[in-house]
Chains A and B, each alone.
Chain A
């Protein structure tokens, strides 16, 4: 064989090595571009926020800017209630939709549900607010926490439906067959075999969706609206953390800007705490499923 026409073996190997390292380097640059802004945002929120979070901020009602002091206790409660109600509405509907799409959705209805979920998952959040405004606020004749929850649920459901579907599809078919072969019905197989096996990923979807809606501002502007007082009921307007951040941040008062940073930190901490709690509760079962 003529070896003179091809580059020597050693050179080819070195070239290949170089290309390999170049690709890894490019991936690292891309990673840095993605991670740096994230870390920076976290750094700012935690760094600035932590200076302005205080017991007073967490436990008292807002004060007029001229008075100074005061806190966001009503908004913190408001956010918990509004997001909590959105989850109560959204988890059953979203998970059930995901189950249908994955296990029974090999038909026109399933296809339509998948298409609609994907469209709705990309719904501009302010549109969800308008829908809830038109359907609930106008009908009830006033702003309310529950209308805010409905708007958030509209954003929450498609995300949970899609992630639940994906989670169930990842459960191997032989698990379903094992159950069918024991004379267990499809419904029981879905609920007792497939869903438990997928629960970790379903939970992840719920957490991602919760984090998403917990920070939504636009859908709440004309549904939950805002309030300077404690919430009087779910059929009344309420303050929430994101809307407060928005209105405090655009105010001319330095003191309010600081409170907006503190609010951002509290929101972040709440989402994180929920995530950690869910993961911890789940960890034991996950270990069991891994065979420990």
Chain B
């Protein structure tokens, strides 16, 4: 199920400003890849290029290749809507749909994609809520508003919602930065569980978090990929001086 992603000379610019300046990176399946770097280094911009979210920003220009499996997602005949079923995304702030119940938040997309209905849909709701470690907390109030949940619960609901369309890759943009430490811990545990089945890319401001959850780490600086490697190696023995400066807290 999990697929690898490869970027080749990926560039993203907004008007005159180039935010990502040619990045080559291999994202391994069934592993967590963390992207770290100071604010404005292009890490979120890079992440959003992986499921073509920039298509909705008129000033954004993307060039280079992004391979999902062996297909360029910016190539001819790729429907961005279909692509996003395979490459899901979880955002910085929990963003459940306020007009929908907990259950409807999850079933909204699968219903539209014709993935399941009736009993199968109920099973899907239970399965993804269990995967997101939220089932026990909400199983008795699936019809209640999603906005009534706590921030951490909302974020797990958003993860469950993303899993419900059965993606191959899950992109997470600082998924725990708006949450308290306990909720953060739960999200991190969840990421650890999910990497058995998915390819996960997580952008984070928090280096401890990157060290805890990821197998590979990429350090971005000024729109460039400065260093990329196994997390253990990158944190204990960085090859680049800028990486070392950043992870030891000398800038950023």
Residues of A near any B CB (own CB < 8 A): 106, 172, 174-185, 188, 192-193, 196-197, 199, 285, 288-292
Contact = CB atoms under 8 A, between A and B. Distances in A.
21 contacts: A172-B95, A174-B93, A175-B95, A177-B56, A177-B95, A178-B91, A178-B158, A179-B108, A180-B56, A181-B89, A182-B109, A184-B112, A192-B108, A193-B97, A193-B99, A199-B99, A288-B99, A289-B98, A290-B145, A290-B147, A292-B148
Given A174-B93, A177-B91, A183 B99 contact: no
A183 B147 contact: no
A290 B145 CA distance: 8
B95 A289 contact: no
A24 B161 CA distance: 49
B84 A182 contact: yes
A192 B83 CA distance: 20
Nearest to A182: B109
Interface in B215-234: none
A285 B112 contact: no
Nearest to A185: B81
A182 B108 contact: yes
Nearest 6 A/B pairs, CB to CB: A183-B85, A291-B148, A182-B109, A291-B147, A181-B89, A183-B84
A183 B91 contact: no
A181 B80 CA distance: 10
Given A174-B93, A289-B145, A291-B148, A197 B84 contact: no
B112 A174 contact: no
Given A178-B96, A180-B84, A291-B149, 18 more contacts: A172-B95, A175-B95, A178-B91, A178-B95, A178-B97, A178-B158, A179-B97, A180-B81, A181-B84, A182-B161, A183-B109, A184-B81, A185-B81, A185-B112, A289-B99, A289-B145, A291-B145, A291-B147
Given A178-B91, A178-B158, A188 B98 contact: no
A197 B97 CA distance: 8
A106 B58 contact: yes
Interface string B62-106: 000000000000000000011111001101010111110000000
Contact of A175 (B97, B149, B162): B97
A133 B167 CA distance: 59
Contacts of B109: 179, 182-184
B105 to A, nearest CB: 9
B108 A184 contact: yes
B121 interface: no
A199 to B, nearest CB: 8
A81 to B, nearest CB: 33
B196 interface: no
A1 B177 CA distance: 46
A188 B33 CA distance: 32
A96 to B, nearest CB: 20
B99 A197 contact: yes
Nearest to B101: A288
Contacts of A193: 97, 99
Contacts of A188: 112
Nearest to A290: B147
A123 B119 CA distance: 55
Contacts of A290: 145, 147
A292 B148 CA distance: 6
Residue among A179, A182, A193 with the most chain B CB within 10 A? A182
Contacts of B81: 180, 183-185
Most buried by A among B51, B53, B99: B99
A184 B98 CA distance: 17
A177 B97 CA distance: 11
A261 B203 CA distance: 68
B113 interface: yes
Contacts of A199: 99
A184 B148 CA distance: 24
